[in-house]
Amino acid sequence: MLKSFMADSAKIRKQVLLTLFFFIIAFLVFFFAEVLLPFSEAVKFDVINQSLRIFQARQQQKALFLTYAKLIQKIRFKEDELAVASLASQAKEEPNIYAVVNLLNNTLLLKRQDLTINEFPISVGRGDTLVAPWGKRWVFETPTGVLRILRKIKDPIWYKPDWAFLEAKESIPPPHSPKRLVRGILGDYALDLGGGIMLHGTPYEHLLGQRVSHGCIRLSKEGIKTLYDSLALGDKVYIFGK
């Protein structure tokens, strides 16, 4: 009788456990179907909606940036038109030969009043900045305005400045070191405009027409020779198009 009772108890426990197991399965199915699935769908929809809003915001920012860029371009073109108009007005009164440097298309015109005598491709300042470890900054731009020929130099020697050693990752020598004196890099002739800016030749004639200099105006061998022979001390160089 005891054995029969124990067997019945085992069957009852087994049935209870099976019932409990199926109840848990049913509860999990219900929970997934009624709670998790709608929640995941809502999350998915929210993520998609948020992505669309971000995309639309970026498109609006892009459109705003393009509008701003076009506006700046128009302003610059207008400034250059005014500069050219002012230049033309001054040129009519200019008795001597003068040079016109256009930074927009990297060209130099040698002119007498309204007559263009020669045109040469040039390289001008590349426009970037170098910062030394001790904080000094060099901005490699060609200045705009009306400059004058201050010196005419044949077989110029380049005094290599600190920034050139930094760019080459070389140690900077003392100010009077012979390492600073470099021949040939400025070509056969140079015209000094002051402030460290020169019209000069270059061994890199294949780069003419590009913004690659550190501020000086580079010309071909023929171009700098023509300017050296044509321009006198005090003659003007008009630079525009920054």
* pLDDT 10s digits, 34-54: 655 555 555 555 656 676 677
Q: Report the C-alpha gap between 100 and 19 in whole angstroms.
A: 98
Q: What domain range includes position 236?
A: 96-240
153: phi then psi, degrees, rounded to nearest 5: -125, 130
Strands 107-112 and 236-240: unpaired
- Residue 114: per-residue pLDDT: 85
Q: Which long-range contacts (CB under 8 A, 24 or more apart) does 113-120 make?
A: 114/88, 117/230, 118/223, 118/226, 118/230, 120/219, 120/220, 120/222, 120/223, 120/226
Is 216 catalytic? The answer is: yes
Catalytic residue, candidates 176, 206, 214, 216: 216
Q: Are residues 80 and 200 in the same domain?
A: no
Q: Are residues 18 and 71 in the same domain?
A: yes
- Average pLDDT over the chain, rounded to whole? 82
Instruction: Examine the pLDDT at 2 and tell me if it is beyond 50.
Output: no
Q: Are residues 123 and 35 in the same domain?
A: no
- Residue after which a domain boundary falls, among 31, 60, 93: 93
Instruction: Examine the pLDDT at 75 and tell me if it is beyond 90.
Output: no
- Residue after which a domain boundary falls, among 67, 93, 119: 93
- Residue after which a domain boundary falls, among 36, 68, 93: 93
112: phi then psi, degrees, rounded to nearest 5: -130, 110
At residue 59 the predicted structure's pLDDT band, cuts being 50, 70 and 90, is confident
pLDDT digits (tens, 9 = 90+) for 121-180: 999 999 999 999 999 999 999 999 999 999 999 999 999 999 999 999 999 999 999 999
- Residue 56: per-residue pLDDT: 72
Q: Can you tell me the mean pLDDT for 4-12? A: 56
Is 176 catalytic? The answer is: no
At residue 5 the predicted structure's pLDDT band, cuts being 50, 70 and 90, is very low
Q: Report the C-alpha gap between 27 and 31 in whole angstroms.
A: 6
Which helix (H) or strand (E) element contains residue 21?
A: helix 2-31
Q: Report the C-alpha gap between 180 and 47 in whole angstroms.
A: 62
Domain count, the chain: 2
Instruction: Examine the pLDDT at 237 and tell me if it is beyond 50.
Output: yes
Q: Are residues 198 and 107 in the same domain?
A: yes
Q: Are residues 111 and 210 in the same domain?
A: yes
User: What CA–CA distances, in Å, run from 167 to 66, 82, 101, 130, 138?
Assistant: 34, 37, 27, 8, 11
Strands 151-154 and 129-131: unpaired
- Residue 144: per-residue pLDDT: 93
Q: Are residues 146 and 166 in the same domain?
A: yes
Round to the nearest angstrom and report the end-to-end CA distance of the chain: 110
User: Chain-centre distance of CA 79, in angstroms?
Assistant: 21
Place of tokens 């999350």: 43
121: phi then psi, degrees, rounded to nearest 5: -75, 145
Q: Report the C-alpha gap between 93 and 239 in whole angstroms.
A: 17
- Residue 207: per-residue pLDDT: 96
Q: Are residues 138 and 218 in the same domain?
A: yes
pTM of the model: 0.65
Q: Are residues 155 and 200 in the same domain?
A: yes
Instruction: Examine the pLDDT at 81 and tell me if it is beyond 80.
Output: no
Q: What is the CATH number of the domain that holds 131?
A: 2.40.440.10
Q: Are residues 66 and 180 in the same domain?
A: no
Place of tokens 């219900």: 30
User: What CA–CA distances, in Å, run from 115 to 89, 95, 98, 217?
Assistant: 13, 12, 11, 22
- Residue 128: per-residue pLDDT: 93
Q: Can you tell me the mean pLDDT for 22-41? A: 63
Q: Are residues 18 and 119 in the same domain?
A: no
Q: Are residues 88 and 104 in the same domain?
A: no
Catalytic residue, candidates 176, 200, 206, 214: 200
